[in-house]
């Protein structure tokens, strides 16, 4: 249960960071006053950042796998 709370807290922090970058004023709790465009920009921004991070991690792993071992 604690692990789920940690993950949820991390995603919430990430959401607020992205919202701040996009100039969207998120509040704790209800945010029904946001437009669809504002809410979508936050969600889309989160997805873009997560994909970029995963691509970076994968390219680093691939680079290490392609190296020949030193003998």
**Does position 69 have pLDDT exceeding 60, yes or no?**
no
Say how far residue 27 (Cα) sits from the centre of its chain.
18
Angle between the 2-21 and 36-66 helix axes, to the nearest 10 degrees?
Answer: 110
Token pair, residue 11, equals 């995603």
Quick: pLDDT tens for 21-66: 999 999 999 999 999 999 999 999 999 999 999 999 999 876 555 5
pTM above 0.85, yes or no: no
pLDDT of residue 38: 97
Q: Is 29 exposed, middle or buried (0-12, 13-18, 19+ CB in 10 A)?
A: exposed
- Reported residue count of the chain is 71
Token pair, residue 44, equals 């889309």
**Does position 71 have pLDDT exceeding 60, yes or no?**
no
pLDDT of residue 6: 94
pLDDT of residue 64: 56
CA–CA gap between residue 26 and residue 60 (Å, rounded)? 34
């Amino acid at each position: 249960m604690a692990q789920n709370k940690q993950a949820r807290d991390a995603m919430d922090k990430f959401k607020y960071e992205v919202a701040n970058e996009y100039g969207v004023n998120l509040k704790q709790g209800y945010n029904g006053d946001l437009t669809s465009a504002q809410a979508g920009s936050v969600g889309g921004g989160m997805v873009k950042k997560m994909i970029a991070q995963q691509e970076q991690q994968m390219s680093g792993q691939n680079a290490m796998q392609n190296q020949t071992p030193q003998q």
